[in-house]
Structure 1
Amino acid sequence: MKRQWDDDRIDTRAAVHAALADPTRLAIVDELGVSDRTPSELCERFVLAGNLLAHHLDVLERVGLVERFVSSGDRRRRYVRLDRGPLSALVPPTLAAPTSMLFVCTHNSARSQLAAALWRDRVGTPAASAGTHPAERVHPGAVAAARRVGIDLSAAQPHRLGPADPSVQIVTVCDRAHEELDPHESWWHWSISDPVDVGTPDAFDAVVVDIETRLAALAT
């Protein structure tokens, strides 16, 4: 599944990021996030000359982040307020969850097993796992780490990777498997350290945290 990019959205995100790259402009946006301010208040708060503030507000206004408007009380007074809409452009677009996943590592004894189980539990769509050189059993450290987050891997068994199914989103979760295979451009790769090399509960728990962080970023 090749990801299609929206050029207009990318351009919008780039423009907003560029406007906020200046520390003063970022601080102004933070301030306006809690309170509308007059230009004179902003000048005093950030120790800015009026012409420099005007420049910063012009930059922010061009990307739609701020609006300057006339007071409904004293018509000689103007306020600046934040438009939060463009801030949503800073967040990379989420993907619809693929209908079926296959997680691949070398031995299919830890990382790919945990990834598939977490995907099924957290995302709710089908997921399987396989290995290029499957072990005889799922590592007890992976079973224990899964149990600590409420997932049962006690009956899981390693499987050998078969021919790729084009309808399935394949994710390699170890560098060795990714480099051994000839991945299609639609495959994803998550470079996750092998907890078996360390063998401690913390190492397996770190894999769970890594995978869950990636899942949270991908799916809603």
Structure 2
Amino acid sequence: MVEGIELKERAAIHAALAEPARLAVIDALVLGDASPGELADKLGLPSNLLAHHLKVLAGAGLVQRGRSEADRRRTYVRLVPSALAGLNPAVAVLTRAATRVVFVCTHNSARSQLAAALWNQNVRHPEVPAASAGTSPSPRVHPRALGLAHRHDLQLDPDRTAHVRDVLRPGDLVVAVCDNAYEDLLQAAGLHWSVPDPVRVGTDAAFETAFTDIAARVERLAPAITPTAAPTQEADAATVEEPS
């Protein structure tokens, strides 16, 4: 009976993916999350047709929807990677060129710090390092983030947080790892990871859940990054408009 259920689930996934537009949706979500409106614009689909495709994908367990923690009117669609079970989108669709990867959250006290530490200490991309920043940085890294980092053998400087305007440089790929930062940065963010804020919950379990999510996303992103030469001409640091 279990094998039958698994077979039916696998068949539903293949059926859901047997349509070019739905495959395009999956490709668009492999590296980051997006709102339905962003997906419609990117893929050139009318909203009603996209809604149908998202319903089919959700029914097959391939995508999930979640409310923005910043603007509760927004929803974001995210991929469920385990459901793909080794089905890999075309590499050409995923490749991103960057001199650095900069992970950004609101306070630069947990999610962005952990993402950068994972990238630099575990992934160790030979030519593309990572940095982190916040749109409204705290003076210190959150104590639970420090505890989690210690448990996972990562090194975090408890006093080192930074504002995004002081960190960004031309050639950076900006990955917003929270909804607030993404909605503040918008066009400046190359990718969006809608990782729920563990500080709001305030438990070690919440931090572990966020860490597991971030670690899986970092592993998916790393093979898609190719190094690009730093700008040869002097350029001002990337400008990020402050939210009004």
Say whether residues 1:166 and 2:163 are aligned partners: no
With normalisation by structure 1, the TM-score equals 0.55
Q: Is the 8 A contact 2:116 2:130 kept in 1?
A: yes
Match of 1:178 in 2: 182
What is the RMSD computed on CA atoms of the aligned residues?
A: 2.8
Give the counterpart letter for 2:101 in structure 1. M
Of 208, 214, 217 in structure 1, the residue corresponding to residue 211 of structure 2 is 208
Describe the SS at the equivalent of 1:151.
coil
In structure 1, give the amino acid aligned to 2:122: R
Number of aligned positions between the proteins: 138
Structure-to-structure mapping, 1:44-63, within 5 angstroms:
none
Decide which moves more: 115-124 or 151-160. 151-160
TM superposition shift of 1:173: 0.7
1:135 deviation in Å? 0.5
- Do the aligned partners of 1:97 and 1:219 also contact (CA within 8 Å) in 2? no
Larger Cα-atom Rg? 1
The residue identity in structure 2 corresponding to 1:216 is: E
What is the DSSP-based 3-state SS (H/G/I as helix, E as strand, rest coil) of the residue aligned with 2:103? strand
Q: Retained in 2: the 8 A contact 1:100–1:167?
A: yes
1:36-74 residue CA offsets vs partner (Å, 9 max, x unmatched): xxxxxxxxxxxxxxxxxxxxxxxxxxxxxxxxxxxxxxx
CA displacement at 1:202 relative to structure 2: 0.8
1:195–1:91 CA distance, 2 compared to 1 (3 A): same
What are the residue-to-residue correspondences of 1:128-139 with 2, within 5 Å?
128-139=131-142
* 1:91 and 2:95 aligned: no
* Structure 1, gaps ≥5 residues long: 1-13, 20-88
Q: Tell me the SS of whatever aligns to 1:181.
A: helix
Counterpart AA for 1:133? S
Deviation, 1:156, is 4.9
Structure 1: distance between partners of 2:169 and 2:147: 31
- TM-score when normalising by structure 2: 0.50
Residue 192 of structure 2 corresponds to residue 189 of structure 1: yes
Identity of aligned residues (%): 47
Which sits farther off after the overlay, 174-183 or 159-168?
Answer: 159-168
* CA apart distance, 1:18: 2.6
> What per-residue deviation string (whole Å, max 9, x for no partner) do you get for residues 99-145 of structure 1?
41111111110011111111112221311111111111000100111
**Unmatched runs of 5 consecutive residues or more in structure 2:** 1-13, 20-85, 224-244
**C-alpha contact (below 8 Å) 1:97/1:123 kept by paired residues:** no
Measure the CA separation in 2 of the matches of 1:205 and 1:178: 22
**CA distance in 2 between partners of 1:156 and 1:171 (Å):** 22
